[in-house]
Amino acid sequence: MTPLDRPLRLLPRVRNYDWGTPDFIPRLCGREPSGRPEAELWFGSHPDAPADVVIGSSDAGSIPLDRLIAERPVDVLGSYSALPFLTKVLSAGRPLSIQAHPSREQAARGFAGGAPGNYRDPNHKPELLYALTAFSALSGFRPPAEAAALLGALGLEELEPHVQRLESEGAAAYRPLLDALTGRAGTELAARVTGAARLAADRADPERRDALRWIDRIAAFHLEDPLVIAPLILRLIRLEPGQALFTGPGVPHSYLEGSGVEVMANSDNVLRLGLTSKRVDAAELLDILVYEAAGAASLEPEVEEHPWGRRTAFTPPVADFRLDVLDVAGRGPAPLPADDNVRIVLALEGDLEIRNPAGALSLRPGQATLLAASAGGATAAGAGTVAVTMPNASDA
């Protein structure tokens, strides 16, 4: 039986969704673009696209991670019954759908109730996005007064009742607004919203202008979808490289443009509201949304300076995962966190070597190693940056 106590190379699966970019992921990985959009690299055990683990002397000696876990769960996972997270590199060249994910309780009920179109498993799907480039997203509802002002700037008579309700009722007015937008009347509204936004952007202040102009960019792909109005009711966020966004259950969101590392619970539960050609179940999604103004825009990290470099830890309020980014300066080996847990180590910059007493593995950008639970303590040596995903024991 091959020992799993050394660093093991992890070969990702490429996802060629049409919203991806043709060059970011190939450039990160040091290869020529194929000409097709490359939206995501999956480093995980999800059965839709499990990564391969190299356990022989060449790539030919590899096994899908989900199969390796099924055959040797204790060696790979320790006390866990399944790998609780999925690590990805994501690169969006155009807006993704407006969507939300259920809580664990909602997912369990929906899955047990036999609704496979909405609930593929009984798990929740919180997400963390760590920006590698400037990254734009919609996430959570705006403060109602802010949304009312933006909608009012369009000057559309049919939206005026919703403007008034947002001003008088607050966040409770978001549900009837979305009901109207996703109903039959909403389908006739998209073109008027787009035209009105172009006019309003010319006389708006910079903050409002940015939101109004995103309507035009979204409409280029979804001209007849009334959810082009989303930038006016959802919070528009811009992350700079090194910042992160956490999205919890019931939060409406859309990634608009940019590239980053995405970490999520190992689930495929996505409910979509619009801006997509995929299945939409507006009624079910509206039932799981959290109708309140969103909080802080980014997930604040804990930053530590060390003789070997810097550790930036992003710790979301879930037990499934956390993300540590280690900037290793070449002044000695950096100890990797979570000695007793399964970890995925993804190289982002430089040339590094992941080493433990049982062996070593060199990593270039876009490459990853699996550190099984049986691997124990390990270090990163050289000069570069790695992103380390692991279970969040502090929130267990």
pLDDT in 10s for each residue of the chain, 396 residues? 788 999 999 999 999 999 999 999 999 999 999 999 999 999 999 999 999 999 876 656 899 999 999 999 999 999 999 999 999 999 999 999 999 999 999 999 999 986 667 888 899 999 999 999 999 999 999 999 999 999 999 999 999 999 999 999 999 999 999 999 988 667 678 889 999 999 999 888 988 999 999 999 999 999 889 999 999 999 999 999 999 999 999 999 999 999 999 999 999 899 999 999 888 999 999 999 999 999 877 899 999 999 999 999 999 999 999 999 999 999 999 999 988 899 999 999 999 999 999 999 999 999 999 999 999 999 999 999 999 999 997 665
Task: Determine contact, residues 345/354, Cβ cutoff 8 Å.
Answer: yes
**Token pair recorded at residue 129:** 């996005």
Q: CA-CA distance, 208 to 260, in Å (whole number)?
A: 26
**Token pair recorded at residue 379:** 């270090």
Q: CA-CA distance, 127 to 319, in Å (whole number)?
A: 12
- Reported pTM: 0.96
Q: CA-CA distance, 219 to 99, in Å (whole number)?
A: 17
